[in-house]
Copies of this chain bind each other. A is one copy, B any other.
Amino acid sequence: MSDAIRRLDAREPEFLATLGALLAFESEADERIDAAVTEILRAVRATGDAAVIEYTRRFDHLHVGSMADLELPHAELKAALDGLTVEQREALRTAADRVRRYHERQKIESWSYGEADGTKLGQQVTALDRVGLYVPGGRASYPSSVLMNAIPAKVAGVGELIMVVPTPRGEKNPLVLAAAAIAGVDRVFTIGGAQAVAALAYGTQTIPQVDKIVGPGNAYVAEAKRRVFGTVGIDMVAGPSEVLIVSDGSGNPDWVAMDIFAQAEHDELAQSILLCTDAGFIDAVAAAIDRLLPTMPRREIIAKSLANRGALIHVDSLEQACAIANRIAPEHLELSLADPEPWVAKIHHAGAIFVGHHSVEALGDYCAGPNHVLPTMRSARFSSPLGVYDFQKRTSIVHISEEGAQVLGRVASVLAHGEGLQAHARSAEMRLKG
């Protein structure tokens, strides 16, 4: 029996408490990070370009004379794209096309309606003017992440999309630059960390202020985003990635084991959980884990992730599995079932549902079409995948006719007096005819 991953039984009396402990994750406040971010935000706000250049020298070991030297010309993005293998270029293009096609369905449209008295009400939808896209450097620099963040913004009609990506010691990731070219990123600065977030949030002499900042980053970036929220919009601050697989034992245990690994290889805090009605299948998955784990290049990370936060859980029924899934509200849910469709509507809380044995999460991560930026840490209870709607906003339109103002003015006057707001009442009453 595998000791790579814990086994649980949903029928045990302590199961819910054990599950709760397994899901618990709190990013600890780190005073050192807080203090560093405070100082960086202050400095960039005060001196702009000069502070960004200095921090880039200090943290990324890049020495430049001016911010202009930290902007990548378009030709360099194009060259990166041209320099890829045909296979890589085509894969990026196929992924981008599919992501674009899916996201085009997400656009919100303006609407309005008239009333009998001539009053017109509605909602005017507009795109954000300018968006900043943070892309991490080094190890976690993912071209797929560029596509997933940039394409919805461009589909929404964002006027200018500014990408920042640190290039420590000048080292650039050609796949990331190629993805920026394909996704239609407008400008790229090779800066990173809290200083890049500050530059986008406040603007500098060279970098224009944006309206929203999206994209993943390390703890400094996350804290900086949290702090500038309000001055600009931000996307959610993501926790560790998670997959929950619901199985009736009909699948291939090797496939399930590999899907578990694919989640676990992200980092040691990633979470992979299997809910299965078939104890024999759980044994087979455990055996596959033991057999396949040594073959994985990232086996050390996978092993730690499985030991820390993984679980194979025996459940009574698929109904019970769905109830547990809704409690977990996972980022990714695979319905690894012989007849999965009837179960989709029973899942109320999940970032994305992968339906059937061929709908493996990795396809969704790269190229199926839907976004791979999904709510983590149970936030699928109240939030949604990143989408075109995150780059659009609504304005209420209120056009009240003279006749309409006679009726509404009386209602408003009564309610305003009830709230003790006499100027509200009088501004409505003034529109009443004699």
Contact = CB atoms under 8 A, between A and B. Distances in A.
Interface of A: 87-88, 91-92, 94-95, 102, 105-106, 111, 113, 119-121, 123-124, 126, 128-129, 142-144, 175, 211-212, 230, 232-233, 237, 252, 254-255, 258-259, 261-262, 264-266, 296-298, 302, 340-341, 344-345, 347-371, 374-375, 377, 379-385, 387, 389, 393-402, 404-405, 408-412, 414-416, 418-419, 421-428, 430-431
A355 B398 contact: yes
B355 A233 contact: no
Contacts of A94: 411
A261 B426 CA distance: 10
Most B CB within 10 A of own CB, among A105, A411, A431:
A411
A370 B233 contact: no
B233 A347 contact: no
Given A212-B382, A352-B398, 6 more contacts: A102-B121, A143-B415, A258-B423, A344-B397, A351-B396, A374-B396
How many monomers of this chain does the complex have?
2
A347 to B, nearest CB: 7
A145 to B, nearest CB: 9
Contact of A111 (B105, B345, B387): B105
A128 to B, nearest CB: 6
Contacts of A347: 124, 395
A363 B126 contact: no
Contacts of A380: 393, 395
A237 B102 CA distance: 32
Contact of A362 (B91, B111, B341, B427): B427
Task: Across the A-B interface, give the 5 residue pairs with the lowest CB-CB distance, nearest first.
Answer: A233-B382, A370-B396, A355-B399, A261-B423, A352-B396
A149 to B, nearest CB: 15
27 contacts: A87-B414, A91-B411, A91-B414, A94-B411, A121-B368, A126-B349, A129-B348, A143-B419, A258-B430, A259-B427, A261-B426, A262-B424, A262-B426, A265-B422, A353-B395, A353-B396, A354-B400, A355-B398, A356-B400, A358-B400, A362-B427, A363-B400, A363-B428, A365-B416, A366-B416, A367-B412, A368-B408
